[in-house]
Amino acid sequence: MIVPVILSGGSGTRLWPLSREQVPKQLLSLVSDQSLLQDTVRRLDSFTAGPIKEPVVVCNKVHGSLIGQQLGAIGHGAARLIYEPIGRNTAPAVAIAALLTEETYPGEESVLLVLPADHVIKRPDSFAEAVVKALPAAGQGFLVTFGILPERAETGYGYIKRGARRGDLFDVEKFVEKPDKSRAASYVESGDYYWNSGMFMFEAAAYLSELQRFAPDILSACRKALEGAIRDDAHVELGHDAFFACPSDSIDYAVMESTDKAAVIPLEAGWSDLGSWTSLHEAEEHDDAGNTCIGNTITLNCRNSHVQSDNRLVVGIGVDDMVIVDSGDTVLVAQKAQSQLVKDVVTRLKAEGRKEASVPSRRYYPWGTDELLSSGGRSEVRKLELHPETVLSFSSDANAGMRCIVISGAAHVASEKEVRRVREGELVTLMPGEHYSLENRGRIPLIVLAVLTGNLADGGMSFPTSSSRAL
């Protein structure tokens, strides 16, 4: 029995400004019409090894609503979400999933397939074959990692040196940290090293046993966090204090570098971890000049560049090896070779208290989306999209007037005095400081343009993160 464990943490810094802390890259559609998370889960649907259980997804609660929507859209609404109160790296995340698996399937031999949610695999059939080959070794108590056949002397990845052959797998001789250019070249030339993918396969019991041997403090904290968790059928919200007290460590450091049960299976499946704008450029389709052009873009006399726009037309002329990205509220222009420095930009923005560091122009809620279209000293324009059969309750800004224009669908706007049905093209004025509900009783999304004018010094309009179903 295979239980997929999807690791969906992340700070949203490496592909900034598209990814943000509130909407990291795994929740974005970057290489297909679905998000990276959806691609990761859909990859499991064609597996013949198994049986395959519904995934367990480890994530931050702030992403839970969007993750639930995305999984439901691809037929995996029964996946269980584990909410971490704070990121503590991969070793504790997988420990919680292993403990929960043993609790959910007592007495069964459960093999965990641990997958980061933000990886690209262009040849899923090759990945599925590797999983089938790794399954017997995992069932025998080995901790299997997937080693990527290196395509170049990459300094941004850790490496795994293989040891003695064990059928389709090899013993792990050692793990190597990110090398310099010359050492990376020697690793690739030797043929004995693989890139460390961060994907694993092992029995839940085997992992917990090795974690007890080498990092018992992590396992103890995880047990306490699970004991103090708030649960329902779909969600597990870990105990706050216990998980905060848990040491932060990766599977590699906590277990794999110490255990004598580590094995590696070679994988050649068009893998990428999308760790930078350069890697996204490599993963995308290119034009004849080596450019990747996504969205509303035009290039002329450009080479080997990544040009992307969510909305406005972006034109590149005569640029080489550049990254140009318009995310709606931010424009990034960078040399491709230095695009990894966006992490430093995010650090600086956070230090300056700038919302662009973590908050995207479009925010996702259980009731729908809220997109900031325009903002000035005394005006703000937002596009609200409500899911069918939902109600959004809020108080209008005490210092600003608000007018709502229905763009699509029909809205029922309720105040303390009346309920009014507002049709497409009609406008309704909301008085400052009063409580309102905006209801979509239809079967299609309700799209409303909200225009605020007045004193917006406190940051303008904010909407609740919860909703109720329409009657």
Structure confidence at residue 457 as a pLDDT band (50, 70, 90): low
For 204-260, list the strands marked E by DSSP: 230-231, 235-237
Structure confidence at residue 49 as a pLDDT band (50, 70, 90): low
Q: pLDDT tens digits, residue range 167-182?
A: 999 999 999 988 889 9
Q: At what angle do helices 90-104 and 216-227 cross, to 10 degrees?
A: 50
Of the candidates 252, 438, 360, the one whose C-alpha atom is nearest the C-alpha of residue 16 is: 360
Q: What is the mean pLDDT of residues 16-38?
A: 92
Q: pLDDT tens digits, residue range 248-304?
A: 999 999 999 999 999 999 999 999 999 899 999 998 889 999 999 999 999 999 999
d(CA 201, CA 127): 12
Q: What is the mean pLDDT of residues 358-387?
A: 86
In CATH terms, the superfamily for domain 362-469 is: Jelly Rolls (2.60.120.10)
- The total number of residues shown for the chain amounts to 471
Question: What is the structure's pLDDT at 470?
Answer: 41
List, by residue range, all CATH 3.90.550.10 domains of the chain.
Answer: 2-272
- CA distance readout (Å), 436 to 39, 430, 432: 39, 8, 11
User: Cβ atoms within 10 A of the Cβ of 166, count?
Assistant: 15
Written as six digits, the tokens of 16 are 């900034």
Burial of 369 (0-12, 13-18, 19+ CB in 10 A): middle
Residue type, 416: E
Written as six digits, the tokens of 426 are 């009609």
Burial of 444 (0-12, 13-18, 19+ CB in 10 A): exposed
d(CA 98, CA 89): 15
d(CA 124, CA 363): 31
- CA distance readout (Å), 87 to 90, 97, 200: 9, 14, 19
Helix (H) or strand (E) holding 189: helix 181-190
Mean pLDDT of the chain: 90
List, by residue range, all CATH 2.60.120.10 domains of the chain.
Answer: 362-469
In CATH terms, the superfamily for domain 2-272 is: Spore Coat Polysaccharide Biosynthesis Protein SpsA; Chain A (3.90.550.10)
